[in-house]
Amino acid sequence: MQFGIFTVGDVTADPTTGRTPTEHERIMATIEIAKKAEEVGLDAIATGEHHNPPFAAPANPAVLLAHLAAITERIILTTSTTLITTNDPVRLAEDYAYLQHLAGGRIDLMMGRGNTGPVYPWFGKDIRDGIPLAIENYALLHRLWREDGIDWEGRYRSPLQAFTSTPRPLDGVPPFVWHGSIRSPEVAEQAAYYGDGFFSNHIFWPASHTRQMVALYRRRFEHYGHGSAEQAIVGLGGQVFMRPNSQDAIREFRPYFDKAPVYGHGPSMEEFMAQTPLLVGSPQQVIEATLGYRDYVGDYQRQLWLLDHAGLPLKTVLEQLDILGEQVVPVLRTEFAARKPASVPDAPTHAALVAAAGGGGRDATVYAAADAGADVVTEASPDPSRTPEKDLR
């Protein structure tokens, strides 16, 4: 099981001081948070993608992640999310493959559609095409990482003839992909079709909704022959604020909750905690609540928490990471491992994908299936629904 954090890079005033950080401060804080996440032993850090204030998340997450790849050694770098709708899938294939090389394979990514309406027209798209864009663009991206010299034609970008995106994926193995969605069954269906991971945002919505989405993904994952429903790759979001004494946590977090752009001026913090996975309390309460998630989504592979938002100062966020790393995650690792049957796989890492593909050494100037040996020269273009290991043999 992987544990990590995800950030949306919001630049929000601290309600207790009234001070808003500058964009530069926010960006540098994100770097500190990522370094700390690795230091306290977390497994993954995910960054959002934004194109509008008040966010200082990168417009192209690969820029931030390339920097993080250079200053960290172990933590998996990922996204929450990469916009599959308004980005050109060719650029996504190129940028993330390049990032994969820089990071030594220590990356994966999460596709999302984006919920800021004007971003679509700003990039020449129509929000009403959100689902078809996600379907077409990802189908192309999936091929670009697996085939050389592709001929392609679709509704939303110029056609490609004999196009090979470069660089080719590291070791000939594309990055693992998660698909994130709050409420679109089509996205759960898409993740299931490809045998990719499905990430449920989980926060802001009742658990009953998350249960329904994950159940759909698992059922369809099995339907498409990628394994049993229990073996599907599930990630969950979560949001916590912790102090040793739960009343202290509630007192300290309340002004941030009350003014938070996504929370404020609606239901009370207590109502939100009762109806959604928001947890403000002691580390022990966080451990118990997190273990409870598997009651409604089953054994899952990745837990990401949102910590750095609503104007919480950097110092507080770093303290939260200390608590996670020292008191919460070690217990959760042991407890989740004790509960998980051996038949349920871990989240795929680059090393695991390379091993599944029959080992490394497939990196090439421009990799083609034909490079692997004369015996497969006659093989036709791989079927995009096939698994990477099959494509590479």
Partner 1 sequence: MTTRIAVITAGITEPSSTRLLADRLAEATVAVLGGRRAVSVEVVDVRRLAHEVTNTVLTGFASPALQERLDTIAAADAVIVSTPIYSASYSGLFKMLVDVLPRDALRDKPVLLGATGGTARHSLAIDHALRPLFAHLGALVVPVAVFAASEDWGSTDAGRLSERIERAGAALARLVTGAPAPALVDPFEDVTPFEALLADVAGVSGVSGVAGVA
236 vs 332 by CB, closer to partner 1: 236
57 vs 278 by CB, closer to partner 1: 278
C-beta separation of 129 from 86 below 8 A: no
CA dihedral 106, 110, 116, 119 (to 10 degrees): 70
Minimum Å gap between C-beta 208 and partner 1 is 9
Minimum Å gap between C-beta 156 and partner 1 is 26
121 vs 267 by CB, closer to partner 1: 267
Minimum Å gap between C-beta 93 and partner 1 is 33
Q: Is the peptide bond before 185 cis (omega within 30 degrees of 0)?
A: no
CA dihedral sign, ordered 121, 123, 129, 131: negative
181 vs 301 by CB, closer to partner 1: 181
Give the residue among 392, 383, 391, 388 at the shortest CA–CA distance from 362: 392
Binding region for partner 1 (CB under 8 A)? 204-206, 209, 265-267, 271-272, 275-276
Give, as one character, the DSSP assignment of residue 107.
B
28 vs 215 by CB, closer to partner 1: 215
206 vs 244 by CB, closer to partner 1: 206
Q: What is the C-alpha separation between 255 and 359, in angstroms, rounded?
A: 52
**H-helix segments, 72-127:** 89-102, 119-122
Give the residue among 332, 242, 322 at the shortest CA–CA distance from 36: 322
Q: What is the C-alpha separation between 238 and 279, in angstroms, rounded?
A: 8
Q: What is the C-alpha separation between 269 and 251, in angstroms, rounded?
A: 11
Burial state string for 322-342 with b = 16 or more CB within 10 A and e = fewer than 16: ebbbebbbebbeebbeeebee
Minimum Å gap between C-beta 205 and partner 1 is 5
Minimum Å gap between C-beta 267 and partner 1 is 5
116 vs 316 by CB, closer to partner 1: 116
Minimum Å gap between C-beta 213 and partner 1 is 13
Minimum Å gap between C-beta 257 and partner 1 is 13
C-beta separation of 258 from 323 below 8 A: no
145 vs 263 by CB, closer to partner 1: 263
Minimum Å gap between C-beta 269 and partner 1 is 13
Looking up tokens 């110092």 gives: 315
Instruction: List, in sequence order, every residue forming a beta bridge with 235; answer none if it has no partner.
Output: 199, 302
98 vs 204 by CB, closer to partner 1: 204
φ, ψ of residue 216 in degrees (nearest 5): -60, -50
Minimum Å gap between C-beta 201 and partner 1 is 11
24 vs 265 by CB, closer to partner 1: 265
Could you tell me how many residues make up the chain?
393
Minimum Å gap between C-beta 146 and partner 1 is 37
Looking up tokens 């590479």 gives: 392
C-beta separation of 269 from 310 below 8 A: no
Burial state string for 157-171 with b = 16 or more CB within 10 A and e = fewer than 16: eeebeebebebbbbb
